[in-house]
Structures are given as C-alpha cells and as structure tokens.
Chain A
Amino acid sequence: DVKVTQSSRYLVKRTGEKVFLECVQDMDHENMFWYRQDPGLGLRLIYFSYDVKMKEKGDIPEGYSVSREKKERFSLILESASTNQTSMYLCASSFPGYGYTFGSGTRLTVV
C-alpha cells in the first residue's frame, strides 16, 4: 500500500516561529499537495507540486511556502506562524489523473 507519512501528529508552536511540516511518500507519485482542514470550511488547498522543484499556489497560499527538492518529499513552511494558522494540515500524493492518498495529518496549534 502506498504510504504518505507526515512527520508529526501534533505540534504546538509559538506565534512568530518558523514552522516546517514534512511529508514523505513512498510510491513515486509525481503529484503532491498540502491542504488545511477547518470545521465548517472543509479542505482548502494551500500549495501543490507536479514535479521536483516545481510548485503552484492553491486557494490559500498566503503565509505559507513549500519546498520540493526530492520527488518523495514535500515540505510546507509557515514563515512566521500566527494563531489563525492553527489547523489540521493534510498532505496528499497521487499519479496524474488518479485519486489522492492522504497522510494522517498534523494538528498544529499556534499559541
């Protein structure tokens, strides 16, 4: 089974800190995605990547950046964490035109 692994299940960070969320997939998928999920708002796409060193903005990229130096790894960076970035963050990967495989999520709390 394809696996998408997110480095942390729970994370607590202080306002203003730089935060790194790591995601690794083991099935050679070209596509990788970062979402945040909030009650009542559903899944919102932050950034995605279709290839190494390539990135595209999603619907809510403000306050975030990403890095994809290797095909299997896609990192989400919160440049200066704020309390409104407290959320569940989900990483996903896929082959083009196929369904996504999601990680278990990272619940980030910014205090």
Chain B
Amino acid sequence: QKEVEQDPGPLSVPEGAIVSLNCTYSNSAFQYFMWYRQYSRKGPELLMYTYSSGNKEDGRFTAQVDKSSKYISLFIRDSQPSDSATYLCAMYSSGNTPLVFGKGTRLSVIA
C-alpha cells in the first residue's frame, strides 16, 4: 500500500462549481498536511498548510483533515478557469523528515 493515495483524475467541472480534491494516507504519524498547485510547465506552489485535524480556510479554498479516517480534502468554491492545474497533497510526520507527496489530481475548470 502506498503511503499517500490520490486520484489522478482528470477532473473536469464547469465554472462556478464546488470542487473536492482528496487524499488518503496510511501512516498515522503524519501530522502536517499541505496542498500544492502546479500549473503546466511550472513548479508546484504551496496553497494550504494545516497541522493535525480540523479545517483551514483561505479565500475560496478550504483544507480539511480527518486524522481518524486518514483522509484530507481541499475544497475550491466558485471555481474559475484559472484554477485549472494539477493539485498535489503532501504530508510529513515531524522534525525534519521530507514531505511525502501524492501523485496529483489534474483539474480542468471549463468556462
């Protein structure tokens, strides 16, 4: 079983839709969770960073962590064509251990 599982998509939605992106993980030691957005031919950029369980909101984006289910989500409200990108989840346990990335979900928002 891979440490982090993420549906690769592609996911195609109409403009204005609510998008839900998800990852599951197997290592119960993970405590720090991130979402990165990667546009075509660019490096990933950090979108959201959460610690332990709970929700975090930033504008149209909400990150949710459920440690009991080992499940994290990223919600995008009022999606825009500019949100079209690949979204990668990432997580780590503690200290200075490297991030473990999901493979990414490709999202297209159609105008």
A residues neighboring B (CB under 8 Å): 4, 31, 33, 40-43, 45, 48, 50, 58, 90, 92, 96-105, 107
What 1/0 mask marks residues of chain B from 40 to 83 whose CB sits below 8 Å from any chain A CB? Answer: 01111110010000000000000000000000000000000000
Tally of B interface residues using CB under 8 Å: 20
Which of B's residues lie within 8 Å of A, judged by CB? 8, 32, 34, 36, 41-46, 49, 88, 95-96, 98-99, 101-104
Which listed residue, B32, B42, B43, B101, touches A42 by the CB 8 Å rule? B101
Inside 8 A of B43's CB, which chain A residues have their CB?
Answer: 4, 90, 92, 102-105
6 nearest CB pairs, A to B: A102-B43, A42-B103, A99-B46, A43-B101, A96-B96, A102-B44
Of A31, A58, A99, A105, the residue contacting B96 (CB under 8 A) is A31
> Which residues of A lie under 8 Å from residue B45 when comparing CB positions?
102
Contacts A90-B43, A99-B49 known; A42 to B104 CB distance under 8 Å?
Answer: yes
Q: How far is the CA of A42 from the CA of B99 in the complex (A)?
A: 13
